Amino acid sequence: MTCKMGATTLLLGKNLSSSVTMSIDRFIIAVYICADDFLKLRQNSFPPLRKRGFQPKLSDAEAMTMEIVGEFLGFGSDKAIYEYFKNHWLAWFPRLGCRTTFTRQCANLSFIKEEFYKYLSNKYIKNDLLLFDGFPIPTCNPKRVRSKNPLYGEASFGYCAAKDKKYFGFKGNLLINQDGLIVNFEMTPANGDEQEALLDLAIPGTTVIADKGLLGNPLKEKLKEMNVEIQTPLRKNMKETRSKHFVYKIMNIRRKIETVIGQLTERFNIQRIRAKDTWHLLSKVRRKLCAHVFAFTLAGNTKFEKIIS
């Protein structure tokens, strides 16, 4: 794919307003420019992706573009993304080979996709108030789990309080800013400790709003050592010393992370991923995060429906 639209700043120099709309072809170009510029910028800092064999004919920037655009359009699987671009955009991606090669190339770009969404987040993060929460990423019906399951031993059984049911898989631990921009993410087994996840994701010098599950002085002290303040609602049997206005405000702000988790679940199908191993699962999770962050940088908020006309 070739593009002569100039530098990335032509489209991504600043957050665009939520009223911005563009055609699908301009959206594809915007993703490609940003991905290609990022890969060129970081090419010397990445370890070699391929130690032997032939280089894929499809460039890594083109593969990332197909993944991000495909996820934004709702094609959650490698097969669906591949077939969409083969049937509709082959003239723009003439070096697209077989689906197996495309799937392998996407998986090899896993850690680069993580660096990509963090790069975009760091570029557009505007404040030091962050929100944290976890959500389930089921991989199999708990009744069908067997020792031969390829994820057995890495995934685990967990409980989803929102749906009041057990599941088998992982937990997504999400950190966003108050506008809805994904800042950091970590995937742990379903029975993983959210407190440990927050300690891994927390950014010094920030305030984090979380739920009641993260109450406790030990966690508060550990975060304080990291120069991180945490605010959570209290349980009914606990005495509230903060003003009602302050508590109402932090609870109102916290709703934004529920919106983002809802988008990852409903628009990007993060809870319906099919993968045979953790490597491919994590690669698909990361491209969904890339698609969400990139859409945010275009819209300037979480109203993604207005991006493509």
pLDDT tens, residue by residue, 173-196: 999 999 999 999 999 999 999 999
Highest mean pLDDT among 64-68, 151-155, 190-194, 278-282: 64-68
**C-alpha separations of 128 from 110, 169, 177, 185, 202 in Å:** 28, 32, 7, 17, 11
pLDDT of residue 20: 61
User: Is residue 233 classed exposed, middle or buried when 0-12, 13-18 and 19+ CB atoms within 10 A define those classes?
Assistant: middle
Per-residue pLDDT reduced to its tens digit, 18-73: 446 788 999 999 999 999 999 998 877 777 666 666 778 999 999 999 999 999 99
Please report the domains of the chain, with CATH numbers, ordered by start residue: 127-272 (3.30.420)
pLDDT of residue 19: 47
Residue 7 pLDDT more than 60?
no
Gap between the Cα atoms of 81 and 52, Å rounded: 27
Cβ pair 7, 285 in contact under 8 A: no
Per-residue pLDDT reduced to its tens digit, 225-247: 999 999 988 888 888 788 888 88
Residue written as tokens 């999400």? Answer: 174
Greater pLDDT, 15 or 166: 166
Q: What is the mean pLDDT of residues 262-280?
A: 91
pLDDT of residue 15: 44
pLDDT of residue 9: 43
Residue 103 pLDDT more than 90?
yes
